[in-house]
Amino acid sequence: MQSTVNYLWHTDDLLGQGATASVYKARNKKSGELVAVKVFNTASYLRPREVQVREFEVLRKLNHQNIVKLFAVEETGVSRQKVLVMEYCSGGSLLSVLESPENAFGLPEDEFLVVLRCVVAGMNHLRENSIVHRDIKPGNIMRLMGEEGQSIYKLTDFGAARELDDDEKFVSVYGTEEYLHPDMYERAVLRKPQQKTFGVTVDLWSIGVTLYHAATGSLPFVPFGGPRRNKEMMYRITTEKPAGAIAGTQKRENGPLEWSYTLPITCRLSTGLQSQLVPILANILEVEQAKCWGFDQFFAETSDILQRVVVHVFSLSQAALHRVYIHAHNTIAIFLEAVYEQTSVAPQNQEYLFEGHICFLEPSLSAQHIAHTTASSPLTLFSMASETPKGLAFRDPAQDIPKFFPKVDLQADYSTAKSVLGAGYQALWLAGALLAGQELMLRGLYWFVETLQATCRRTLEVTRMTLLFLSSSLGTERFSSVAGMPEMQELKRITELRSKLRALAEALSRCSHNITETQTSLSNLSSELMKNRDQVHADRSIQQVQCCLDKMNLIYKQFKKSRMRPGLGYNEEQIHKLDKVNFGHLAKRLLQVFQEKCVQRYQTSLVTHGKWMREVHDTRNHLRMVSCSVAAFNTEAQGAQESLSKILDQLSHQLLQDRTKEAQVSATPTAPHPSPALMDLVL
C-alpha cells in the first residue's frame, strides 16, 4: 500500500503507466471516494523544473466537464514523490473501448457522436485557454458513465501540454508514434535532424487519427508489418498522402500504397454522417501546416454536424435505411434535397408515410414540422419511379476471420481469438440490421398497400354513386311520341343522350368490377405481407449468433488471462488446445447461421420485395388510370344529364304553352275544330 495525507492505494490497482509516472485507483481516507492518483517516478525529476510543474499549472487553469478534474497535489509519505489526485473514470479509456471485440470495426454511430461532441468541447476549452495538448490519442481520452447511463469522455494526461497561442511555435517533441504529426514523427521516431517548428495544428492531426480510429476500429495509415515495425514506410505514407485522402495502406512487402478517400464498408456510421465527417478528416489530416485547417474552421465544421438533427428515412424502393442530417431551422425543401443526395429520388418523386399514414411535407415549412423518427420508426419513402431494391451493402465477416496457428502460442492465440470474436460481433450487428431491414420492407409495403386499398374504396364509392344516379335517370321517361306525329329534333337529341348515358353506365360498371378485382388482389398481397412479418418476428437467428458469441467470449477471456503467463503446464496446455478447437467450431457455427439464416433469407426477401414493389407500382398506375377514367366518366355523365334535363325542361315549357293555347282556342265558340295535342305528359 502507498498513501499521501488524504489518499491511499494498492500498487496492484494500476490503471496506466508511462515513462515518467504511473496512475493508480485510490480512495479518500475519510469518505472512501474513488479517485485516480498519478505518481511521478524518479525519471520525471530529471526533467527541467518548469517542465515538472507544467502539468500542475495547466490542470489548475482548466475547468471543464470534458477534461479530467484535478482535486489536489500531494506527496507520498516516505519518498516524497509528487502525486496528482484526479477524477476517477470507471469506464476506462477510449482505447480500451476500441480494443473491445464488440468495437473491432468502429463505434456505433450514436457513441461516435458522443466522442466527437466531448472531444470538440474539451479541445475548445483548451484553445480558449491557449493550451496545446500534444498527446491526443484514444488512450488519453477517458470514459465516465453519467447518472443516466450515458458516456462522458474527458481529455486527460497533460504531461506534454503547455501554453501556446495560435501564432506561436514550439520545437520540443512529444506524443505517441501512430498519432504524431509527420513533421514531429520525422524527428522523434526516425531521429532525423531538422529545424522545423510546430504549431497548435499538430493537435488537429492527432484528433484526425483518433476520430478515424474511433469510426473504423483501425488506424488510417498502416504500412506492411505495422506502424511500429516499418517506420520509414509509415512516414512515407503520411507525407505522400494525396489531397483528399483519409487513409493509406501497404498490403504486401514492398507493395504499392493504396489510398482511400472514403471510410471502409465495415464502418458502422451512416452515409449521412460519413458525408459530413470525411471532408473534416481530409482537411485536418493534411501534412502541410499551411494547407491544414485551423482550429476555428475545425470547430465551426464539427459544431455544424453536432447541431444537426437526424431524420431517419427508409427507402422502400431501395430497401435501405438512411440517416439524414439537417438543421432544425432548415426548410423541408432542404430536407427533400438532402434525401435526394442520398437516395437519388428527386423531390417531386418523393412520397412519405409515417406510422401507416400519408405524410404530406410542405417544402416551404420548417423542418421542425417533420415527425420525430427513430431507426425502428422512420419516415417511409416511396418513389414514383420503379427501381430494383439494392438493400444493405456489407462485407462478409468471414473475410476478416484469421486461422489459428497449429502450435500453442499464447500471444498469437489471443490475437487470433480477438480478431475472430470481432468478426463475430460484426456478424451479430449485421444480422440485426438485416432483420430490421426485412421488417421495415414488409411493414412499409403493407402500409402502402393499405393506402391503395383506401384509394380503391374511395374510387369505388364514387363509381357506385354515379351508377346509382344514372340508373335513376335512365329508369323513367318524361316524354313519349304521339302516334302519327313526326318526331321533333329535340326527341332525337334526347335519344342520343340517353344512349350515351347507358354507355357511360356500362363503362362505369366495368370500372367497378375492375376496382373490385384490384381490391381482391391487394387483400391477398396484404395477407402475404402479414404472413411474412410473422415469420420475421419468429426469427431466432440473432439469438443463435449471440449464443455462439457468449461461449466464444468465455474462451477469449481465458486466452486473455493466459497470454500474461510465461507458459502453461501440460494439463493446462491440453485444455488450451481443446479451447482452440471449440472456439473454431463455434466460429464456424456462427458463420453458418449468419450465412444460411440471415444473409440468404435477407437476399430472398429482397427478391420478393422487388417483385411485390413492381406489382404495387403497376397496381398504383392502374388505379390512377381507372380513377381518372371514373372521374372523366362522372364528369361526362353529369354533362349529358344536364343537357338532357335542359332539353326536357324546354319541352315541358313548350308543352305547357301549347296546352294553354289549346285551352284558349277550345273555349272560343267559333272554333269548329280544336287543335290536337302534340305530346302527352307522362308522370
Q: Which residue bears the cell 485551423?
A: 294
Q: What CA–CA distance (Å, rounded) separates 27 from 3?
A: 9
Identity of residue 452: L
What angle do helix axes 570-593 and 410-474 make, rounded to 10 degrees?
20
Q: How far is CA 198 from the centre of its chain?
A: 38
Q: What CA–CA distance (Å, rounded) separates 221 from 38?
A: 32
Q: Which helix (H) or strand (E) holds 480?
A: strand 479-481
CA-derived radius of gyration, the chain? 39
The catalytic residue among 12, 110, 135, 539 is: 135
Q: What CA–CA distance (Å, rounded) separates 429 from 638?
A: 61
Q: What CA–CA distance (Å, rounded) separates 549 from 447?
A: 36
356: left (phi over 0), alpha (psi -120 to 50) or beta: left
Q: What CA–CA distance (Å, rounded) separates 343 from 322?
A: 8
In this structure, how many other beta carbons lie within 10 angstroms of the beta carbon of residue 454?
11
**How far are the Cα atoms of 407, 411, 483, 572, 573 from residue 565, in angstroms, in the given order?**
17, 10, 122, 12, 12
- What own/partner pairs with CB < 8 Å and gap ≥ 24 does 532-541 have? 532/442, 532/605, 532/608, 533/439, 533/442, 533/443, 533/446, 536/435, 536/438, 536/439, 536/442, 537/439, 539/435, 539/597, 539/601, 541/431, 541/435, 541/593, 541/594, 541/597, 541/598, 541/601
588 assigned ligand-binding residue:
no
Four-residue CA torsion sign, 44, 45, 47, 51: positive
Q: What CA–CA distance (Å, rounded) separates 170 from 150?
A: 38
Catalytic-residue membership of 135: yes
* Contact of 114 with 151, CB cutoff 8 Å: yes
Task: Name the nearest CA neighbour of 682 among 544, 443, 476, 424.
Answer: 476
* DSSP symbol at 196: -
Q: What CA–CA distance (Å, rounded) separates 639 from 628?
A: 16
Q: What CA–CA distance (Å, rounded) separates 406 from 348?
A: 61
What cell does 379 get? 419516415
Q: What residues act catalytically?
A: 135
Pick out the residues of the known binding site for ATP: 38
- The binding site consists of 38
